[in-house]
Structure 1
Amino acid sequence: MSAETRPVVTAAAPESRTGALALTAVVGALLIGGAGVALVQQGLVDGGVLAGQGWLTSTVAWLDATTAATAAAVMILVAVLGLVLLLAAVLPRRRAELPLPGAPGVVVEPGDLARIASATAETVDGVLTATSVASRRRVTVDVESTGAAHVPAAVRGAVAERFESIGLDVAVGARDAVRGSGRQQSRTELPPHGGTDA
């Protein structure tokens, strides 16, 4: 008896965990760059190279003319913005990957779930192409088929069985579109079944 053949799946590239830090760095760089430009413009005005009033001088004059309430509001706004950026940089992000049962230290990314689902769906009789989107607990498979009535249920069953075989508890939904007349027409949709939505 030959061994069971599994669809070949290419692993997704690891997701970067530095998104918040990158955003903070960009905002910080923009603020520093803006301050530098303002200082250069002020220096050129003071040196007589540029006509008019320097931006820093104008800012100071505006602050002098503002009321205490307006100044307090501006300071509070700046403080809140700084706090938000600080929290975004230091707070841990929610982990996107799922630990693989029975394999300590091994995780599966949502992109891997989508690849597994699509590769498995394409092994179902009547499926022409398959694409999938996935989160930690939910996968939706969109297939283009020959129009056989069994396709949506068969796809959902095959994908769910594949996830169960590797110990993953994931809800699986399937949507079928029939190829024909040069365009896809919606045929059947089965909502996610099994797993625990999150």
Structure 2
Amino acid sequence: MTAPRTAADVRASLELALANAVAEKGYAATTIADIVANARVSKRTFYEHFADKEACLMALYGDACARIMAVLRSAGAIEQPWPDRIRALTAAYLGSLDAMLPVNRAVVVEMQAAGVRAYRMRQRVQREFAQTLVDVVDGARRTNPKITPLTAPMALALVGGINELMLDVVGPSGEPGNTFTGLTEHVVALFTAVVPEG
């Protein structure tokens, strides 16, 4: 006999079901019926947890981004020479996205296609990512003041540039088999150009 699922289990199942449907059909074409069929629950159960499809996508996005930011903070806190820290940070970030199939498409592409609430959330989270990078650079500068400071606007530009590169992996022009970790050298070069060491 299996234990009954908790509310958190059901929410996670619905979020994953949305991610699977979005990976197959795209956000706009995905319906509540698709989500509940993938999750093997009723529409009533869906609406007990989410007001609508956009709310489910926002929960998926928020959970995924929280995990990714935790990975970034952890990788960025490791004491090592600046070029190695940039590489470790990049590898951790891109590797965490590769490990999130099929969620990564919803995180990178589909939040941009959702409604106004999702757009505002994405903008807020992008600024949180940028602040995380500022914090990592500030932490590294405590032991190596030769590292160029990273301002909030430049951090946001860096996040935007990295996101554009990631669209080549999972966006409409992405080739099957492309991985986020395949972008490592490009992201390292971009990060190094924006935040060089003295």
Structure-1-length-normalised TM-score: 0.23
Q: Identify the structure with bigger relative contact order (alpha carbons < 8 Å, sequence gap 6+).
A: 2
> Structure 1 or 2: larger helix share?
2
Structure-2-length-normalised TM-score: 0.23
The structure whose Rg is larger is 1
